[in-house]
């Protein structure tokens, strides 16, 4: 970590992200694969069932058969909680791994998951609270305002097309404004998980600290998300093109209905495999970069570089934001080496 104990530009953060990812590829890929593997496996099974199992599709594709409705219900009730738990372990694990390798520490995939497990419920609540603060509150406010406008037009009635056009424009601008607010809040709270994982702060305190800590770097984080979005779109497009070519060739060669169904299944599964690979490769990038932005902001705002060097030299006692073991519900306390007291 010694080579990064100074404020970094966006290019330096991205370069450091690539270095850490390359040196610890299997660690990050293994942690990132957990939730993606679950959702891909379930999707593959569902696709095969839809195409191969009689009764899951009605003659009219626009309607759901009872069997399909049951399959969707089982997915929501069983698979969704499993996916959420895997996502918590993966995203918090990527953050934990990025923080440790950035500090020059060694850790394995099992060690990452063991480090996340005692704090699972805190990280889960953080994710829920973050979603509420970022998206649910602005979306609900915009929905209420739009609903009130539509209700007013219905209640008044008449007046020609002018009121409807005006309400349409207002609805568009309110929706666009709500989307902008959601993006801005997402950028402001983006390093909240890094705060929660590294400093072991409660969910609400992590969000508050992340908002203050991210001031001055939200534009750089926005550029990071744009780059990742572009890479994700490219990977998805490659997967779609490959699966479409395979499906078309197999369908032409087969020249039969049973071969057409098999080709559709093969193409869909192939697309899922390519998409899975792309997501596993891209997922660690954002979490590594966000951890680096977190440390960079601490260096800029709090002089963390000086604090870290003094800790490494043994000149100061490391502060701990970790609660006692009996309060945290674990057998022994976990003391992160770089937490700060506010």
Token representation of residue 312:
């490494």
Q: Is 136 within a domain?
A: yes
- Residue among 282, 337, 226 nearest 21 (CA): 282
Token representation of residue 324:
């006692």
Cα–Cα distance measured from residue 219 to residue 183, given in angstroms and rounded to the nearest whole number: 11
Please state the φ and ψ torsions of residue 64, each to the nearest 5 degrees: -95, 135
The enclosing H or E element of 291 equals helix 257-302
Q: Is 89 within a domain?
A: yes
The number of distinct structural domains making up the chain is 1
Q: Is 341 within a domain?
A: no
Domain of 319, in residue numbers: 2-328
Q: Is 333 within a domain?
A: no
Q: Is 216 within a domain?
A: yes
User: What does the pLDDT profile of the chain (342 residues) look like in tens digits?
Assistant: 545 567 888 899 999 999 999 999 999 999 998 887 777 777 667 666 666 655 555 545 545 567 667 767 777 777 788 888 888 999 999 999 999 999 888 999 999 999 999 999 999 999 999 999 999 999 999 999 888 888 777 776 555 566 667 777 888 899 899 999 999 999 999 999 999 999 999 999 999 999 999 998 999 999 999 999 998 888 778 877 877 776 676 666 655 555 666 666 677 777 777 777 887 888 899 999 999 999 999 988 888 777 777 766 766 655 444 444 334 344 444 444 444 443
Q: Is 314 within a domain?
A: yes
Cα–Cα distance measured from residue 299 to residue 6, given in angstroms and rounded to the nearest whole number: 7
> What are 57's strand-pairing partners?
64
- pLDDT for 340: 43
Write out 109-169 in H/E/C secondary structure.
Answer: HHHHHHHHHHHHHHHHHHHHHHHHHHHHHHHHHHHHHHHHHHHHHHHHCCCCCHHHHHHHH
Residue 2 DSSP code = G
Angle at the Cα of 201 from the Cα atoms of 116 and 323, rounded to 5 degrees? 80
Stated pTM of the model = 0.77
Cα atoms in the Cβ-side hemisphere of radius 13 Å centred on 61? 2
Q: Is 335 within a domain?
A: no
Cα–Cα distance measured from residue 114 to residue 7, given in angstroms and rounded to the nearest whole number: 32
Q: Is 337 within a domain?
A: no
């Amino acid at each position: 970590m010694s080579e990064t104990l100074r404020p970094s530009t966006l290019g330096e953060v991205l370069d450091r992200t690539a270095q850490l990812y390359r040196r610890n590829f299997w660690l990050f890929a293994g942690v990132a694969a957990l939730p993606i593997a679950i959702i891909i496996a379930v999707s593959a099974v569902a696709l095969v069932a839809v195409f191969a199992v009689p009764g899951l599709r009605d003659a009219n594709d626009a309607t759901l058969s009872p069997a399909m409705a049951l399959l969707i219900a089982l997915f929501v009730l069983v698979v969704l909680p499993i996916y959420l738990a895997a996502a918590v372990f993966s995203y918090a694990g990527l953050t934990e791994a990025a923080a440790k390798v950035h500090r020059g520490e060694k850790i394995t995939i099992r060690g990452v998951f063991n480090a996340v497990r005692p704090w699972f419920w805190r990280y889960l609540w953080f994710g829920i609270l973050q979603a509420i603060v970022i998206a649910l509150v602005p979306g609900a406010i915009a929905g209420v305002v739009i609903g009130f406008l539509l209700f007013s037009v219905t209640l008044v009635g008449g007046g020609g097309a002018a009121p409807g056009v005006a309400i349409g424009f207002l609805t568009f601008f309110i929706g666009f404004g709500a989307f902008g607010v959601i993006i801005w809040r997402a950028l402001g709270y983006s390093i909240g998980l890094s705060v929660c994982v590294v400093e072991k702060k409660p969910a609400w305190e992590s969000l508050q600290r992340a908002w203050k800590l991210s001031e001055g770097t939200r534009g750089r984080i926005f550029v990071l998300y744009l780059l990742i979005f572009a890479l994700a779109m490219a990977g998805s497009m490659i997967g779609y093109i490959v699966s479409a070519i395979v499906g078309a060739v197999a369908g032409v060669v087969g020249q039969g209905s049973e071969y057409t169904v098999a080709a559709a299944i093969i193409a869909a599964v192939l697309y899922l495999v390519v998409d899975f690979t792309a997501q596993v490769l891209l997922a660690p990038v954002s979490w590594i970069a966000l951890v680096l932005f977190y440390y960079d902001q601490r260096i800029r705002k709090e002089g963390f570089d000086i604090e870290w060097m003094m800790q490494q030299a043994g000149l100061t006692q490391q502060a701990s934001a970790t609660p006692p073991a009996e309060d945290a519900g674990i057998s022994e306390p976990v003391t992160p080496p770089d937490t700060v007291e506010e």
